[in-house]
Amino acid sequence: MSDELLKGHREAIDRIDAEILKLLNQRAEHARTIGEIKGGGVVYRPEREAQVLARIKSLNTGPLSDEAAAKLFREVMSACLALERPLTIAYLGPEGTFSQAAAIKHFGHAASTQACGSIDEAFRAVESGSADYVVAPVENSTEGAVGRTLDLMVSSPLNICGEVVLRIHHHLLRKGDGVAGILRVYSHAQSLAQCHEWLNKNLPAGVERISVASNAEAARLASKEPNSAAIAGDAAAERFGLTRLAQNIEDEPNNTTRFLVLGGQQTGPSGKDRTSLVVSAPNRPGALASLVEPLSSNGVSMSKFESRPSRTGLWEYVFFIDVEGHVSEPGVARALDALGNVAAFVKVLGSYPQAVI
Ligand SMILES: C=C(O[C@@H]1C=C(C(=O)O)C=C[C@H]1O)C(=O)O
């Protein structure tokens, strides 16, 4: 009886799958034609992709969650875009880093990812044309700003064209089982800091904590050394065949990293955008307040204000400001004009869609 019921539902699924496949290929044909219309120009349109994903979420009636539906369409768009032209995304490697996971979350699995030895090298890969876009970490909810990415954006000709928000889960990983015999734990300095309390409580005091260039590098070392463990995420655990001795060991349960996507293009408005700026203030009293005033007086909301040494003079600073809206919106445009009159230096790093998934 239950076999009969199962059979009926499976036949329905087979019919639906055939229909979905037919429709997916119709969609892919349109994307391919759009690629021809673009005629070798920029194929990736982040503002359109954000609108497609936001629309899917708003149309969704379940039982699939909005998140699950959007993730499926993320992959559908990735495959459609690859028919126009496959993209290459540079990231801070090696394989298995959170930066790679962010690149795949944003561009889907049809994009190829190119591991680079440093964030500088990943920017250069795009500037020199050997990759199409770079995905670089910019801030973590517990550890704060990633200074190198901020510094590179000041001088790079690339524009920000998207953002990716990734929940970061860290695991204690080892080749084999049990914590007995662990003499050292490798990880990136930020991850060691993010798991500091857990390490204090759960590992003997003598276990050395060694910071290395990336979590994936930590996992690689732990896969080679029997007395070593690593703190890294799922991708690195899988890549190096390590056992998860303890899962989700980050001290802060909402640990999240925000990444930026940068490329050579300017991005049009999606309807729900963010604009990132870097500005410097003349070194005089009240200068800082004068940077914020043009935003509030034009009704522009600020979502980030971060200071960083300017590297041109001792105790001089530049400020990284994120505001809601697109440079083409009148309020943002007026605020930028007014900012230009009071700041010593203003550079728009990009206007781009806010993360949808
Ligand atoms: C099809 C297009 O090209 C790409 C693929 C998209 C899609 O599959 O929906 C959306 C935007 C572009 O990144 C388009 O520009 O509309």
Distance 353 CA to ligand 1 centre (A): 15
Specify whether 162 is located in the same domain as 175: no
Boundaries of domain holding 239 = 171-246
Q: Nearest residue CA, atom 5 of ligand 1?
A: 81
Residue 10, domain member (yes or no):
no
Q: Calculate what percentage of the chain has a pLDDT beyond 70.
A: 99
Residue 277, domain member (yes or no):
yes
pTM of the model as a whole: 0.92
* Ligand 1 atom nearest to CA at 80: 8
CATH number at residue 348: 3.30.70.260
Distance 34 CA to ligand 1 centre (A): 8
Q: Nearest residue CA, atom 2 of ligand 1?
A: 31
Tally of structural domains, the chain: 3
Q: Calculate what percentage of the chain has a pLDDT beyond 90.
A: 83
DSSP secondary structure of 286-315? THHHHHHHHHHHTTPPEEEEEEEE-SSSTT
Residue 268, domain member (yes or no):
no
Specify whether 239 is located in the same domain as 304: no
Which among 103, 118, 114 has a CA at the least distance from the CA of 213? 118
**For the segment 116-140, what is each residue's pLDDT rounded down to a tens digit?**
999 999 999 999 999 999 999 999 9
Report the distance separating Cα 199 and Cα 120, nearest Å.
31
Report the distance separating Cα 122 and Cα 158, nearest Å.
12
Distance 239 CA to ligand 1 centre (A): 31
Which among 79, 125, 73 has a CA at the least distance from the CA of 99? 125
Residue of 25, 45, 73, 85 to mutate, ligand 1, most atoms within 8 A of C-beta:
45
Report the distance separating Cα 120 and Cα 292, nearest Å.
30
Residue 6, domain member (yes or no):
no
Q: Nearest residue CA, atom 10 of ligand 1?
A: 49
Q: Which of 263, 291, 321 is the last residue of a domain?
A: 263
pLDDT of residue 94: 87
Distance 73 CA to ligand 1 centre (A): 11
Residue 160, domain member (yes or no):
yes
Residue 29, domain member (yes or no):
no
CATH number at residue 187: 3.40.190.10
Judge if the upstream peptide bond of residue 330 is cis by omega within 30 degrees of 0.
no
Specify whether 285 is located in the same domain as 222: no
Specify whether 328 is located in the same domain as 345: yes
Q: How much is the average pLDDT of 73-86? A: 97
181 Cβ contact list (under 8 Å, min separation 6): 226, 227
Q: What is the mean pLDDT of the chain?
A: 94
Q: Nearest residue CA, atom 15 of ligand 1?
A: 45
Specify whether 98 is located in the same domain as 140: yes
Confidence of residue 1 (pLDDT cuts 50, 70, 90): low
Distance 137 CA to ligand 1 centre (A): 25
**For the segment 129-169, what is each residue's pLDDT rounded down to a tens digit?**
999 999 999 999 888 899 999 999 999 999 999 999 999 99
* Phi/psi of residue 347, nearest 5 degrees: -130, 125
User: Is a pLDDT exceeding 90 seen at residue 294?
Assistant: yes
Distance 271 CA to ligand 1 centre (A): 17
Specify whether 161 is located in the same domain as 177: no
Distance 31 CA to ligand 1 centre (A): 6
* Ligand 1 atom nearest to CA at 48: 11
Q: How much is the average pLDDT of 173-200? A: 93
Distance 204 CA to ligand 1 centre (A): 53
Specify whether 155 is located in the same domain as 114: yes
* Ligand 1 binding residues, C-beta < 6 A: 31, 34, 43-45, 48-49, 52, 77, 80-81, 84
Residue 245: both structure tokens together: 């001795």
Specify whether 314 is located in the same domain as 301: yes
Q: Which of 263, 294, 319 is the last residue of a domain?
A: 263
Q: Nearest residue CA, atom 8 of ligand 1?
A: 77
Distance 47 CA to ligand 1 centre (A): 9
**249: Cα within 13 Å, side-chain hemisphere:** 26
Residue in the structure block whose two tokens are 């076999």: 3
Specify whether 162 is located in the same domain as 217: no
Residue 327, domain member (yes or no):
yes
* Ligand 1 atom nearest to CA at 30: 1
Q: Which of 232, 263, 294 is the last residue of a domain?
A: 263
User: Is a pLDDT exceeding 70 seen at residue 93?
Assistant: yes
Q: How much is the average pLDDT of 181-189? A: 95
Please state the ipTM of this predicted complex. 0.99
356 Cβ contact list (under 8 Å, min separation 6): 50, 53, 54, 57, 70
Distance 205 CA to ligand 1 centre (A): 53
Confidence of residue 314 (pLDDT cuts 50, 70, 90): low
Specify whether 96 is located in the same domain as 144: yes
Q: How much is the average pLDDT of 80-100? A: 94
**For the segment 219-274, what is each residue's pLDDT rounded down to a tens digit?**
999 999 999 999 999 999 999 999 999 999 999 889 999 999 999 999 999 999 99
Residue of 26, 48, 51 to mutate, ligand 1, most atoms within 8 A of C-beta:
48
Specify whether 134 is located in the same domain as 188: no
Residue 4, domain member (yes or no):
no
Report the distance separating Cα 197 and Cα 48, nearest Å.
43
Q: Nearest residue CA, atom 7 of ligand 1?
A: 77
Specify whether 177 is located in the same domain as 236: yes
Residue of 26, 72, 73, 80 to mutate, ligand 1, most atoms within 8 A of C-beta:
80
